[in-house]
Chain A
Amino acid sequence: GNSVTQMEGPVTLSEEAFLTINCTYTATGYPSLFWYVQYPGEGLQLLLKATKADDKGSNKGFEATYRKETTSFHLEKGSVQVSDSAVYFCALSDPGSGYALNFGKGTSLLVTP
């Protein structure tokens, strides 16, 4: 079956530090890959996505590249801000599973001034 594994948190960084959150996946087909973010007290929302190999998703300074050879979709940001403090979920969507999302366990990020 499909699964998503992402690095354990919590992650604590100082403002302007470089961020990497690792995500690897297992899928039987050709999934689409996503990063969702959950800010404190808010609902889940899409941060970025990639639908095929070598695609790069980007938004709000965050990037992730769909690497089929390593089955990875690592999230990166060059300079984090306090406002980036949130929980980040890596997820995949596979046509074989009816397009419901498989989520990783989530990584909590705290950025301090």
Chain B
Amino acid sequence: SAVISQKPSRDICQRGTSLTIQCQVDSQVTMMFWYRQQPGQSLTLIATANQGSEATYESGFVIDKFPISRPNLTFSTLTVSNMSPEDSSIYLCSVGGQGGTEAFFGQGTRLTVV
């Protein structure tokens, strides 16, 4: 199993600013995943972050808007840049899921952009 600490748990931000979300795992993992959950919607994968290489972004998500760092095997950050109200969502980091195993999720960061 894995325990994921994600912070902040929530924030209210002004449009045009940036927010960095941190994700700390209690064990070393190769892959970390960042998801977005818009209000009333399902989870959408933003990117996959591997340590030592650039993150791989899904269609519709770009590095300039959502830069990701992965400095070691237990930590990652996601930045939401130049925010607009449309970025208001819950952002989650996740590990695991390889080979049909259980994936673990952080508690999420509830972001509101005003």
A76 to B106: give the CA distance in the assembly, Å: 27
B60 within 8 A of A: no
Interface centre among B98, B100, B105, B106 (most CB of A within 10 A): B100
Cβ contact within 8 Å between A99 and B42 = no
| B107 proximity list for chain A (CB < 8 A) | 43
Distance to closest chain B CB from A8 (angstroms): 12
Chain B 46-66, CB-CB to A under 8 Å as 1, else 0, gives: 001000000010000000000
- Interface bin, chain A: 20 to 34
Chain A 48-62, CB-CB to B under 8 Å as 1, else 0, gives: 010100000000000
B91 within 8 A of A: no
Cβ contact within 8 Å between A46 and B103 = yes
A98 to B94: give the CA distance in the assembly, Å: 13
Which residue of A43, A45, A101, A105 contacts B97 across the interface (Cβ within 8 Å)?
A101
Given A93-B103, A98-B48, also A104-B97 (CB < 8 A): no
Given A98-B48, A103-B43, A104-B42, also A93-B102 (CB < 8 A): no
Which residue of B56, B98, B99, B106 contacts A43 across the interface (Cβ within 8 Å)?
B106
Cβ contact within 8 Å between A100 and B33 = yes
Given A93-B100, A103-B42, also A43-B108 (CB < 8 A): yes
B92 within 8 A of A: yes
Distance to closest chain B CB from A49 (angstroms): 7
Cβ contact within 8 Å between B100 and A32 = yes
A82 within 8 A of B: no
A89 within 8 A of B: yes
What is the chain A residue whose CB lies nearest that of B6?
A: A43
Q: Which of A87-112 contact B (CB under 8 A)?
A: 89, 93, 95, 98-106
Q: Which residues of A contact B (CB under 8 A)?
A: 32, 34, 43-46, 49, 51, 89, 93, 95, 98-106
User: Can you pick out 17 interface pairs between chain A and chain B where the beta carbons lie within 8 Å of each other?
Assistant: A32-B99, A32-B100, A43-B107, A44-B92, A45-B105, A51-B99, A89-B43, A98-B48, A98-B56, A100-B31, A100-B33, A100-B48, A101-B103, A102-B45, A103-B43, A103-B44, A106-B42
